[in-house]
Amino acid sequence: MIRVDGTAQTVVPATDRGLAYGDGVFRTLTAIGGRPRHWRHQYERLAADCRSLALPAPDRAFLEREIALVAGDAARCVVKITVTGGSGARGYRRPDAPQTTVIVASSAYPDYPATCRAEGVAVHACTIRLALQPALAGVKHLNRLQNVLARSEWNDPDVREGLMRDAADRLVCGTMSNVFLVEDDRLVTPALDRCGVAGATRAVLLEAAAQRARTVAIEDVAWDRVLRANEVLLTNSVIGVWSVRRIGDHALPRGRMADELNRWLDEADETA
């Protein structure tokens, strides 16, 4: 089900700046019984991303109502919130007072095999390198062609994700996930100040770690560290935490950390 600007509809003007320029931001989340999981973090990230693009953020209570409406009576579903610069005249310049378009859409929760979480997944090491753009780094904006190209690099349905590097061969993120490494007793996640998306689930995990007095280093991660890591973990709001068992032909062990981080996510879930 899709709602646009508070009404049930499935279309947007063909002149929307989201389509013309990718001028907008989005979040994807899981709704449980119509309530968005990890909502405080999701809304904070959405609002921060709107600020980054100088767009007014939608009202939080409005979004909660919209999410409940598109979720309907689904026990669990995926909800995507998109905020665009709205419709305007031709040209890159925004109207002085942009009227955003707010799209809230639900879709079925994907039927990932239980083995993804229980045993881990195989991933592809993407060839395309993320461009360095500090002005947009971390923002979940609608300019996602690099992710589309990365996702087109493999067809094997058993390969669940692709790891993306930047132009300097540093690990940044997955095409649809953030990444954490376990290096001995250390938890590490790549810095996202040059490229990449700062996911809400990453933010939940960083806060959960702090609450447990666990340090997570946020730093540049050269690619060769990935292949030497004790564990490589993928995180997003739909999959939770998956362990990476194979990167291309390179096998990785599955440790205990994926289960522990999934517990952190459960305990952080205000809707639980």
* C-alpha to C-alpha distance for 255 and 245, rounded to whole angstroms: 10
Segment near its own copies (CB under 8 A), from 68-76, 146-154, 203-211, 242-250? 146-154
Work out whether 159 is an interface residue with its own copies (CB under 8 A): no
Minimum distance from CB of 63 to its own copies (Å)?
A: 16
> SS3 for 65?
helix
| Angstrom distance (rounded) from CA 24 to CA 4 | 14
C-alpha to C-alpha distance for 202 and 207, rounded to whole angstroms: 9
Residue closer to its own copies by CB (options 144, 225) is 144
Q: How far apart are the first and last CA of the chain?
A: 24
Region binding its own copies by CB under 8 A among candidate stretches 40-48, 139-147, 222-230, 263-271: 139-147
Question: What is the rounded distance in angstroms from the CA atom of residue 71 to the CA atom of residue 29?
Answer: 11
| Contact residue for its own copies among 35, 40, 144, 225 (CB under 8 A) | 144
Q: Which is nearer to its own copies, 103 or 247 (CB)?
A: 103
- On whether the CB atoms of residues 21 and 13 are closer than 8 A, the answer is no
Which residues between 189 and 248 bind its own copies (CB under 8 A)?
Answer: 195
Is residue 15 a contact residue for its own copies (CB under 8 A)? yes
Tokens (6 digits) for 187: 């938890």
| Interface pattern 83-102 for its own copies (x via CB under 8 A) | -xx---xxxxxx--------
Residue type, 77: C
H/E element holding 261?
helix 257-268
Contact positions toward its own copies, by CB under 8 A?
2, 4, 9-24, 26, 28, 53-54, 78, 80, 82, 84-85, 89-94, 103, 105, 107, 128, 131-133, 135-136, 141-152, 167, 175-176, 195
